[in-house]
Amino acid sequence: MKKAKTTNPELIELIRFLKKQSRENKANIWRDIAERLAKPKRKRIAVNISHLNRCTQKNEMIVVPGKILGAGEIGHPVTVAAFAFSENAKEKIKAKRGKCL
């Protein structure tokens, strides 16, 4: 069976960049994020806003190697770096003066 590879050029470039940063800075966190992004789409991480609300505190910065979904509410500002955001999630984060990177 043939292994499926992503055809998204932005994702491919991001994975290459993260692997390079991991080697140059000897930081395994970037390699781990690159490996998680390289997984098939059905196995990538999807996080709801309500989960971010429970697991974060005011003004924290979070990295999600996947997509942020808009289910639930968030009660405090956070900075979120993710590969993708739903429109609803972006609106809710920005409404609480958070940032989407």
Phi, psi torsion values for 62, nearest 5 degrees: -125, 140
Residue 3 has pLDDT above 90, yes or no: no
- What does the buried/exposed string (b/e) look like for 49-80 if buried means 16 or more CB atoms within 10 Å of the residue's CB? bebbbeebeeeeebebbbbbbbeeebeebbeb
Tokens of 83: 């590969």
Work out the pLDDT band at 24, boundaries 50, 70, 90. very high
Give residue limits of the domains in the chain: 7-38, 44-101
pLDDT score at 61: 94
Please report the pLDDT score of residue 42 as a whole number: 87
Proportion of the chain above pLDDT 70, given as a percent: 96
Candidates 3.40.640.10, 3.30.420.10, 3.30.70.870, 3.100.10.10; correct CATH number of 44-101? 3.100.10.10
Q: pTM of this prediction?
A: 0.80
